[in-house]
Amino acid sequence: MTPLHLISLKNVPIAEQLALEERLLREDDRNFCLTNIGSPRTIVMGISGNPDLLIDQEKAVQDQIPILRRFSGGGTVIVDEETLFITFIFSKKTFDWPAFPETILRWTASLYQAAWNIPGFALLENDYVIKDKKCGGNAQYIRKERWLHHTSFLWNFQKSNMGYLLMPAKRPAYRQDRSHDEFLCSLSDQGFVSPDDLIARLEQELVKRFYTAVLHKVFVTTTEI
């Protein structure tokens, strides 16, 4: 079986996490699953996002909220200490299916369904949802030989944070023009003790599927890696 390396981060800012991910994607040939919880509050845009259309920039600047553009696609999110990040970086030859956005999404969705067994958890358009409410947003980067898929899951969210984001012109059909408050839900409401509980269950499922090299070090900053 193919080795999979598990990297557990705690309290690492999302900017440092993304820098590490890009390094592992471009400069390494191993397979990774990376988790992180505890990033300070930051607005993160996809590579082609327009801040004028997506962010209340005056409010963000006034409240000193950093705005970051990641190297992958996807939409604009605000993350904070209660956002659970999970990223997969794989060689395309690991699987016998083609590494297209839809197939990657289906594979990760089935993995989370098996690991967490949350009633109503599903892939809907490009989001992970519980029934008809979004609990996780995704972005991807696909290269010639490797691909990356990262997700920001809402362990919990502050309604006040959503005020920094404008209603995007392009949005999922299932959202039906709902506000952020009506559109989102938290994994903390699903009976789990903590984000670490979700991570542990995911790792158990990964062990079943891969020969797993577990790197259970907790890195304060990526400069220690």
For position 196, which CATH number holds?
A: 3.30.930.10
Cα separation, 126 vs 108, whole angstroms: 11
Can you give the pLDDT at residue 223?
41
Can you give the pLDDT at residue 216?
39
Q: Residue-wise pLDDT tens for the chain (225 aa)?
A: 678 888 999 999 999 999 999 999 999 999 999 999 999 999 999 999 999 999 999 999 999 999 999 999 988 999 999 999 999 999 999 999 999 999 999 999 999 999 999 999 999 999 999 999 999 999 999 999 999 999 999 999 888 998 999 987 878 888 888 887 788 999 999 999 999 999 999 999 998 888 766 543 444 454 454
DSSP annotation string for 128-176 = EEETTEEEEEEEEEE-SSEEEEEEEEESS--GGGGGGBPPPSS--GGGT
Q: Which two structure tokens, joined as six digits, stand for 169?
A: 């012109």
Cα separation, 32 vs 89, whole angstroms: 5
Q: Which two structure tokens, joined as six digits, stand for 170?
A: 């392009």
Q: Which two structure tokens, joined as six digits, stand for 121?
A: 């958890």
Strands 211-219, 146-154: parallel, antiparallel or unpaired by DSSP?
unpaired
Please give the residue range of the domain that contains residue 12.
3-224
**Reduced to 3 states, what is the DSSP secondary structure of residue 221?**
coil
Q: Which two structure tokens, joined as six digits, stand for 29?
A: 């040939």
Can you give the pLDDT at residue 212?
67
User: pTM of the predicted model, to two decimals?
Assistant: 0.92
Q: Is the dihedral of CA 129, 32, 116, 98 positive or negative?
A: positive
The tally of domains found in the chain comes to: 1
Place of tokens 């890009």: 22
